Structure 1
Amino acid sequence: MHRQPLLTQLRRYQPTDPHERTMWLNTIAFVEENPDCFERSLSVGHVTGSAWIVAQNPTQPDRTQVVLIHHRKLDRWFQPGGHADGNPDILAVARQEAQEETGLTQLTALGSADDTPEIFDVDVHLIPARGTEPAHFHYDIRFLFRANPLEPFVQSGETKAICWVDLQDIIRYTTEESIERMVKKTKVLLCF
């Protein structure tokens, strides 16, 4: 079953708060109930992949900055990410979307103590109707990546801007609950 690897990852994941736990349970149910959950054509919603990218270069591996993009269509700041378009390997989707939206090529997925990439965050959010596309849900699976902040960004047609943002300055860009949750998780990882 093409959904089994994602379901295995989801079942190993531990949400950090009650709201994320609800979204995590809803995501598991959605993936179990929809064989075409990776397809954009599933009009009620679909699985997406995102990358939470922390700064880490060889001379200053402090991870206190993250990449945010100013999304052109939604006119808001988010982490890079996007549609699976049928690909059940959501880690690969997150990496590809991050590369396409930022131009960063040296992305390393982070994970457990043995460095096996694991889910970093789970979020379910409503995408508003646009044109002929109805409102629908994104079941977003987020992975933690590191990148060298000295590598230059390459602007894409999907973004208005791309930048490294200090964790303490995120609130100047967005007050999205899910991004605030990922900031908290990052600070816990860094023992702030």
Structure 2
Amino acid sequence: MSDRLKEQIRAYRPVNEQEERDKELILRCLETEKDIFTRENHLAHMTASAWIVNEQRTKVLMAYHNIYKSWSWLGGHADGETDLLKVALKEAQEESGIRHVKPVSEKIYSLEVLTVDGHVKKGAYVSSHLHLNVTYLLQAEETDVLHIKEDENSNVAWFPLEEAVAASTEPWFQEHIYCKLNEKLNYWNLK
């Protein structure tokens, strides 16, 4: 268990009720659930996402996710790693091909508990479950060559901020996650 991550989550200041409630649930699960950093916990497990912006913070890098049939942020399962910033950076590179990516800050950018509907992955059924997600704000170079990760996505592209939200076909993510992440850029741009 990562005491450092728990301290970071405890110190995180939620910006809305969704983040307040999700922070409480994530901390409760970190305290009570076994195998929370692996997929062995079939009810809920830790994940990390990246809201990847260009240097000017006018565009977001997104991938077209094969399972959800939607443009979405990049990220993935902790798979035993308790340093979720490391997970977010690794997933960003693996899912998009970008090489010049760095954290805008090592602080948590956002918290979410995400529902995942049952689906088939690599020929096996995966039951519905929760992703206890920590999001980090990353910055990448638009000039990096982009590559898809065929087993997860079928396209990767930069979108202007508003178009990134509109590109998603998942209304809950549009309204509760992606709009929030874009709005937070105003605060982070002041730093």
Normalised TM-score (structure 2) = 0.89
Question: What residue in structure 1 maps to residue 143 of structure 2?
Answer: 150
Question: What residue in structure 1 maps to residue 20 of structure 2?
Answer: 21
1:77-156 to 2 correspondences below 5 Å: 77-111=71-105, 117-131=106-120, 132-156=125-149
- Cα deviation 1:42-68 (Å, max 9, x = unaligned): 010100011111101xxxxx2111111
- Shift >3 Å, 4+ stretches: none
CA distance in 2, matches of 1:185, 1:20: 13
- Count matched residues: 180
- Cα deviation 1:26-80 (Å, max 9, x = unaligned): 1111111124110111010100011111101xxxxx2111111110111112110
Question: What residue in structure 1 maps to residue 63 of structure 2?
Answer: 69
Contact 2:165 2:178 in 1 (8 A): no
CA distance in 2, matches of 1:187, 1:171: 16
CA distance in 1, matches of 2:2, 2:166: 38
Paired residue secondary structure (2:98): coil
Picking from 156, 159, 172, the partner of 2:153 is: 159
Question: What residue in structure 2 maps to residue 178 of structure 1?
Answer: 177
Contact 2:108 2:135 in 1 (8 A): yes
Gaps of 5+ in 2: none
Over aligned residue pairs, what C-alpha RMSD do you find?
1.3
**Bigger Cα displacement from structure 2, 165-174 vs 12-21:** 165-174
Contact 1:68 1:80 in 2 (8 A): yes
Name the % identity. Answer: 27
Gaps of 5+ in 1: 57-61, 112-116
Paired residue secondary structure (2:137): strand
Contact 1:3 1:35 in 2 (8 A): no
Cα drift, residue 167 of structure 1: 0.9
Normalised TM-score (structure 1) = 0.89
Paired residue secondary structure (1:119): coil
Cα drift, residue 121 of structure 1: 0.5
Paired residue secondary structure (2:187): helix
Matched letter for residue 121 of structure 1: S
